[in-house]
Structure 1
């Protein structure tokens, strides 16, 4: 039986393409082959889900705008009317019309079907804020969220979609997290749509069949983050940043992996970092929401050495972690794990890196972490 690694050896499959799977399998070619095969099946399941989601999204936005511009009365598609919106969108619409005409189809529905995902996501951008206030919020009747938050979540799906569609590796992506984000947005559109898309999705089932267990701990650079965790029990970073599906987090600060390795209790992306959002979360009655609200308030109080706010109003991604004093959930080392390499390019963590928590617990230096 021919395997992916056989194709790499023959030069048929590019070695750089296969290399991440071999590294993930710690050099075991049989495991790497299984992982590469699984990845294709996983990506296929994700693309199937994204296709369902994209149709639901564009239909909701399209229907909302058709009603707002009284399309049925005027008998002209809203995107071809003599309006400022239609004129602004005309380059993309014209491209879709030309593409449809190539196949002798130029009906309204054929044009809509050829408008890219980015077209619909862009409808929620800041330049369309007035349109959001007037009508576009009706495309997400269950959201009760501001435009920028809805836009940010859809942008997250777009980035995930691009990774899948361009056949990029998903090894560094928390696939269940991204899939659940799609479910959430569908629920904002229509609760029955969420129920249906959950029922047809194969993503969680495919994910459970992963043949090589991923590293369970992410190590993050923590010049500021380590102090933030000590004071708030949370890790806060920019929205939309991809992470693997991990159960623990470690902090690299002062040239060492710090001694506390907390458990990841919750993860939220594109969270508005405001007192208004904290108040909204407090009112949901959900204990996890209240915990996030508490973190928002605590983090907003943090100051740097100049007395300026460490985190300003905006959108953030937040990991709620077990407390540093929680001897049950937080693993604790006798001392930090020192990084001994020096010189140019020797930094241990730049963005993030992954390992097993066990390798940190038994490491003398960072050279022992795997």
Structure 2
């Protein structure tokens, strides 16, 4: 092409490549000049929207950061959420504890037992993770455990303490002897904070090494919702 030769609309379209220009040419019904005008208009719209998208991106990113920080209690832990473990659920062996939860919506264990900061408890009984995953409403450690203390709590004006006293009474009736315990008050089935799985996770392994959890095991609601097998938790 000589220096005196000028570019035509067809030349410009060819320079942009056929796949890029084809939608505009179709919209313009073959009118090359109109297709180029549509292409220029599209580029202007994209450029104009980039500023708005950049604002949205910052606002969305900051909103997500605030929610994740709140979720893991970042202000209390002093560690950014992205450096903390992703687990929010503890699975516990619950041969006897699962029936007690079904009846009284609580989990009782020895005082001083260490647990990471989690939101949910998953019960492992009958060789399966039960499909109802309650949310932890309150946690009390080193609780004095006797009938007199249960009566005191039930008759107190504090709603939370009254609930604790009711659980203590039920525990005493179920054979939990006096002493000190750690108590988790949990949500009941139907509570919106409850996680409900479509089916239990069944442990199909047998023999040595087949126990899924002996003391406690950590996982997440996300894993519980999407795992295909109990050993993926």
TM-score (norm: length of structure 2): 0.64
Structure with greater strand share of residues: 2
Q: Aligned match of 1:234 in 106, 111, 117?
A: 106
Q: In structure 2, which of residues 80, 83, 103 is the aligned counterpart of residue 209 of structure 1?
A: 80
Is the partner of 1:270 in helix, strand or coil?
strand
Residue in structure 2 matched with residue 291 of structure 1 by the alignment: 163
Q: Would you say how many aligned residue pairs link Structure 1 and Structure 2?
A: 161
Shift of 1:339: 1.1
Higher relative contact order, chain-length normalized (CA < 8 Å, sep 6+): 2
Within a 5 Å distance, the mapping from 1:191-270 to structure 2 comes to: 205-210=76-81, 211-270=83-142
- String of CA shifts for 1:185-228, please: whole Å, max 9, x gaps: xxxxxxxxxxxxxxxxxx95443535224400000001111111
Gapped regions of structure 1 (runs ≥ 5): 1-175, 177-202, 303-308
Q: Deviations over 1:15-61 (max 9, x none)?
A: xxxxxxxxxxxxxxxxxxxxxxxxxxxxxxxxxxxxxxxxxxxxxxx
SS in structure 2 of the partner of residue 227 of structure 1: helix
Deviations 1:59-81 (A, max 9, x none): xxxxxxxxxxxxxxxxxxxxxxx
| Partner residue, 1:168 | none
Are 1:326 and 2:190 counterparts? Answer: yes
Q: 1:366 to 1:312 in 2, by over 3 A?
A: same
Provide, for residues 289-347 of structure 1, a one-character-per-residue CA deviation record: whole Å limited to 9, x for no partner: 11101111122222xxxxxx2x1111111100001x22412111222101122221221
Structure 2 distance, partners of 1:216, 1:225, is: 20
The 1:328–1:312 alpha-carbon spacing in structure 2 relative to 1, beyond 3 Å, is: same
4+ long deviations beyond 4 Å: 203-206
> Under a length normalisation based on structure 1, what TM-score does the superposition of the two structures give?
0.41
| Residues 1-370 of structure 1: pairs in structure 2 closer than 5 A | 205-210=76-81, 211-302=83-174, 309=175, 311-323=176-188, 325-369=189-233
Shift in alpha-carbon separation, 1:242–1:253, aligned structure 2, 3 A:
same
1:280–1:207 Cα change, 3 Å = farther
In structure 2, do the counterparts of structure 1 residues 229 and 282 end up closer, same or farther at CA, with 3 Å as the change threshold? same
The offset of 1:282, in angstroms, is 3.1
Stretches of structure 2 that go unaligned for 5 or more consecutive residues are 1-72
Cα distance in 1 for partners of 2:222, 2:80 equals 23
Give the Cα–Cα distance (whole angstroms) in 2 for the partners of residues 259 and 205 of structure 1: 31
Of Structure 1 and Structure 2, which has the larger fraction of its residues in helix? 1
